[in-house]
Structure 1
Amino acid sequence: MIMKLIETHAHLYSEQFKPDQAEALHRAVAAGVGTILMPNVDHSTIDAMLELEAAAPETCQAMMGLHPCSVGPGFEKELQLVEGWLAQRPFVAVGECGIDLYWDKTYLPQQQEALRVQLALAKQYDLPIVLHTRSAFEEAFELVAEAQDGTLRGVFHCFSDGLAEAERIIALGGFKLGIGGVATFKNGGLDKVLPHLDVAHLVLETDCPYLAPVPYRGKRNEPAYLPLVLHRVASLLGQSPEAVAEATTRNAQALFGLPS
């Protein structure tokens, strides 16, 4: 039986899929991925993302946001564009946004400001927010906790921190952990975390074209690999893949307001 999965984070519109985007989409659907949620990066990705959504509206749904790695001088213009799009038409979430201190800490104040603005937009439009927190869990969490008034909800995408961080996210209320290929990595660390968590707090993602799961690690990732993540998560939780597929699909439907 093919299980119906929701891919909650895929850059399927990226340049890396130019040669075979339609085939990658077909492979995903054949693998049981019924819905693909696409986070925006910045002004340069909007057209490609919306074109893919228009070409495959039954499968692909777009978010709108500004990625922290695209925050630099003149980031206010990028945010104005995000605000303009959110006012213009429906999106499934605000994202991908957050803080990234992995490569560069130069623009931390600007990243903090951009995140504050997008948290406010998520509340204004009553949308979930999709958070990127690479090497910046504390910095991002602090702002999310500050903004949490009981209405804020979303995903800490590409979760790869420890059990203490997972428990803090869960205690915040309204947020899920986005689990992807890192769960399959030998030293990814999630084998120490996931066995202690309830599946009610999880959604599945690939973050393609990045972070391909084992045995494709180091190659281009794609939504068709989501079942590999599912099977690893099920194994760590000590549950059947069917039960985890059903629960994570339900979690994503409820969080993103998708039809069941």
Structure 2
Amino acid sequence: MVLTDTHTHQYYETIAHKRAAFMERCLSNNINRLFLPNVDIASVSLMFDLVRAYPEQCFAMLGLHPCSVKENWQQELNSIRDAHQQNKIYAIGEIGIDLYWDKTFLKEQIDAFRQQINWAKSLKLPIVIHCRDAFNEVYEVLQQEQDENLRGIFHCFTGTVEQAHKITGLGFYLGIGGVVTYKNSGLDKVVAEIDLKHIVLETDSPYLTPVPFRGKPNESSYLIYIAQKVAELHQTTVETVASITTENSIKVFGI
């Protein structure tokens, strides 16, 4: 059995022995593939450090997170792009629109999102989308940019069945994480109605920790609890969920 964490910031742990212990716990739970998105220029080196330490398990993305889009976003994005020249990446992400914390830079967020979508298309890479309180805004951009090169993952999906179908209708996968294990989230009912062929798994470590560790820092090894919950919702085995969602991740990332 091979499980794939399609979205983890596990690189924030920089102490070598703790990082090694994290990875050991991942492997013991059959989580053998970790895809890492940076969020800004400062996190690029942390991410690539982990990739270099575990090249068989860790795979990099590059992008400018919408919450990192400020007045100087173009300069920061240019610096992030420069990092691509020396390093292999498998997606552009995480990118998107976030209106939960601050609406000040909505126009800039949309411009940065669109620019990075076109960067991904030029590289023939998938995108990994961050969307918070901005479904309509994100979906509008995706509709405008839709073509045969636009593909990827809608990270941390927590929306409705209708929204899920809109996303999968564009050819995107739904990233399902720890929220599906939360008793009153309602995401469990949505995931139960979505075919596994549209789903990939993620932790978003160190955030959104699944039950039974909710309230503590998340880590990629906890992906097993998300897989177990999805298996329960679909009345199937964890092995089946692992097989289908890992195959979906291979289709997205090409590895």
Give the TM-score, by structure 1 length. 0.95
Q: In the TM superposition, what are the counterparts of 1:167-186 in structure 2 within 5 Å? A: 167-173=165-171, 175-186=172-183
CA distance in 1, matches of 2:14, 2:153: 25
Match of 2:96?
98
1:83, 1:121 within 8 Å by CA — same for their partners in 2? no
Match of 2:216?
219
CA distance in 1, matches of 2:253, 2:213: 29
Residue 105 of structure 2 corresponds to residue 107 of structure 1 = yes
Residue 190 of structure 2 corresponds to residue 193 of structure 1 = yes
Residue 244 of structure 2 corresponds to residue 247 of structure 1 = yes
Residue 29 of structure 2 corresponds to residue 26 of structure 1 = no
Supply the AA of the counterpart residue of 2:213. Answer: Y
- Unpaired segments ≥5 residues, structure 2: none
Supply the AA of the counterpart residue of 1:179. Answer: I
Offset at residue 87 of structure 1 (A) = 4.1
Structure 1 moving runs of 4+ over 6 Å: 16-19
Q: 1:208 aligns with which of 205, 210, 215?
A: 205
1:170, 1:201 within 8 Å by CA — same for their partners in 2? yes
Offset at residue 30 of structure 1 (A) = 1.1
Match of 1:229?
226
Supply the AA of the counterpart residue of 1:12. Answer: Q
In the alignment of these two chains, the number of paired residues is: 255
Aligned Cα root-mean-square deviation (Å): 1.3
Offset at residue 191 of structure 1 (A) = 1.8
Q: Percent identity?
A: 47
CA distance in 1, matches of 2:15, 2:2: 23
2:92, 2:127 within 8 Å by CA — same for their partners in 1? yes
Supply the AA of the counterpart residue of 1:51. Answer: D
Offset at residue 21 of structure 1 (A) = 1.4
Offset at residue 85 of structure 1 (A) = 2.6
Give the TM-score, by structure 2 length. 0.97
Q: In the TM superposition, what are the counterparts of 1:47-196 in structure 2 within 5 Å? A: 47-173=45-171, 175-196=172-193
2:13, 2:19 within 8 Å by CA — same for their partners in 1? no
- Unpaired segments ≥5 residues, structure 1: none
Offset at residue 89 of structure 1 (A) = 3.5
CA distance in 2, matches of 1:215, 1:70: 31
Distance 1:183 1:17, change over 3 A: farther
Offset at residue 15 of structure 1 (A) = 4.8
Offset at residue 142 of structure 1 (A) = 1.0
Offset at residue 88 of structure 1 (A) = 4.1
CA distance in 2, matches of 1:19, 1:216: 22
Q: Could you list the per-position Cα deviations for residues 61-101 of structure 1 after superposition, in whole angstroms to 9, with x for gaps in the alignment?
A: 11010001100010011111222233443201000110111
Supply the AA of the counterpart residue of 1:7. Answer: D
Greater displacement, 18-27 / 68-77: 18-27
Greater displacement, 116-125 / 232-241: 232-241
